[in-house]
Structures are given as structure tokens and as C-alpha cells.
Structure 1
Amino acid sequence: MKFSEVDEASWQELQPYFDTCLIPYTGLTGKENPMQATTALERLRDFMDLVEIPYKGRIITYPAFQYGLQQEMSLLNEICRNVKSTGFKHVIVISSDNVLQSEDVTEADLILSQTEMKELDGKELAAAVQAKIQILWNPVLPT
């Protein structure tokens, strides 16, 4: 569900069910021409469908973090931290074209990067994404 689909009157009732926030990271540099920017956004949209569609009742997608040179992740970390302070238990950062390192985006609970899963496609990619989310929600505790 997109953030803009939630109205104020129903948020109090729905909030306990939405424990996970999805933050899309496009990572545009400003050097893209309009067609390249459109293509990048379409790739991200398609990758996000693998999360948004199966988990529609549990995940809310926030506005995309459009521009960013990967060297500076402090703003993305701050956004993740702030989103958690509003009541979300988990924050997932998702990107189709960028590899984000967990040591750089320490405030995210999960980073999904299609670039890192480039050898997968179709059902295999969907299954890998869903498995990562399930592990986030249901961590295996050491015995």
C-alpha cells in the first residue's frame, strides 16, 4: 500500500497491521537523460511489485529517495531512523540499480537490491525477495 492511499481517519485502526515501511532508493545522479530516468524508475517499480503485491496488508511504501550518490548515506539512515520513530518496526530499503551495503545503511533492517540478485529472474527472484522478508519478520533464533 502506498502512503498516499492511507487516510487519517483509518490510520489509527490500520497502524497495528502495518509494521513495515518500504523505502525505494532510485539513486539517480542527475546525469540521466529523461529516457534513462524513466527506465530506472520503471525497473524500480517492477522490482517493488515483488514486495508490494504479496504484502499489501502489512507494508506501506513511502516516497522514493530519488537522488543520491552512494558515498553519502547519512540522510537515508536518518530517514530510516525517523520512520521507525513513527511506529514502524521494520524498514526495508529497496533498489533496482544500486548495491547498498548494510554497513552504510545501518538503520535499515533489510536492503533489497535487484543488482545483487541479477542471476535470478521471474519466480526465482520473487521467491528470493519473499524469503528475505520472511527471515526479517521471523528470524531464526539460535538454539
Structure 2
Amino acid sequence: MKFSEVEEASWPELQPYLDTCLIPYTGLTGKENPMQATAALERLRDFMDLAEVPFKGRMITYPAFQYGLQQDLSLLNEICKHVKETGFKHVVVMSADCILHREELPAVDLILSRQDLSELEGRELASRVQAQIQNLWNPAYLT
């Protein structure tokens, strides 16, 4: 579910079920031409579908963090920390083109990078993404 789909009147009722916030990280540098930027966004969209579709009633997708040279992720980490302060139990960051490191994002509960999963395709990739998310919610879940 996208953040813009939540109606103000229904948020208090939905909030206990939507306990996980998904933040897309594009990692654009500003050096991309329009076609390259479009392709990056499409890759991210396709990767995010692996989490958004099966977990629609449990995750809410926030606006993407579009630009970042991957040199300083402190702003992204701060945003994740603030999102948790608003009541989300878990924060997941997904990126199609960037490898993000846990030590740079301590406020994030799960980092899913397509680059880290590059050896997987199709159902195998979808299963791995879904298993990692389920493991976040239930650490006893076997991946």
C-alpha cells in the first residue's frame, strides 16, 4: 500500500496492521540522462513489487529517497529513525542498483538490495525477498 492511499480517517484503525514501512532508495547521482533515470526507477519498481504485492496489508510504502551518492547515508538513516518514531515497528529499505551496508543504516531493520541478490531470478528471487521480510516479522521463520 502506498502512503498516498491511506485516508486520514482510517489510519488509526489500519496502523496496528501496517507496522512495516518500506522506503525505496534509488541512489541517483544527478548524472543520469532522462532514459537512465527512467530505467533506474523501473528497476526499483520491479524489485519493490516483490515485497509490495504479497504484503500489501502489512507494509506501507513511503516516498522514495531518490538521490544519494552512497557516500553519506546519514540522512536516509535519520529518516528511517523518524519513521519509527511515528509508530512503525519495522523499516525496510529496498534498492535495485545500490548495495547498502547495515553499519551505515543502524535504524533500518532490513536492507534488500537487488545487487546483493543478483544471482537469483524469477520465483527464486521473489521467495528470497519474501522469506527475508517474513523473518523480520518472525525471526523463527526459516529462510
Same-fold status (TM-score > 0.5)? yes
* Distance in 1 (alpha carbons) for counterparts of 2:17 and 2:68: 31
- Give the root-mean-square deviation of aligned CA atoms: 0.9
Distance 2:135 2:16 in 1: 20
How many angstroms apart in 2 are the aligned matches of 1:17 and 1:140?
20
What's the secondary structure of 1:17's corresponding residue?
A: coil
Supply the AA of the counterpart residue of 1:119: E
Matching residue of 2:58 = 58
Instruction: Report how many residues are paired.
Output: 141
Q: How does 1:57-136 map to 2 (within 5 A)?
A: 57-136=57-136
Question: Unaligned regions of 5+ residues in structure 1, if any?
Answer: none
Q: Residue 23 of structure 2 corresponds to which residue in structure 1?
A: 23
- Please tell me the residue identity of whatever aligns with 1:129: V
Q: 2:5 matched to which residue of 1?
A: 5
The amino acid across from 2:100 in the alignment is L
Q: Give the TM-score taking structure 1 as reference length.
A: 0.97
Q: How far apart are residue 138 of structure 1 and its match? A: 0.5
TM-score w.r.t. the length of structure 2 is 0.97
Aligned to 2:137: 137
In 2: Cα distance, 1:135 partner to 1:102 partner: 16
**Regions of 4+ moved over 3 Å:** none
- 1:140 Cα deviation from its structure 2 partner: 2.9
How far did residue 69 of structure 1 move?
1.0
Tell me how far apart the structure 2 counterparts of residues 60 and 38 of structure 1 sit (CA, whole Å).
Answer: 23
Provide structure 2 residue ranges, at least 5 long, that are not aligned to the other structure. none
Amino acid aligned to 2:96: S
Deviation readout 1:41-69 (Å, 9 max, x if unpaired): 00000000000000000000000000001
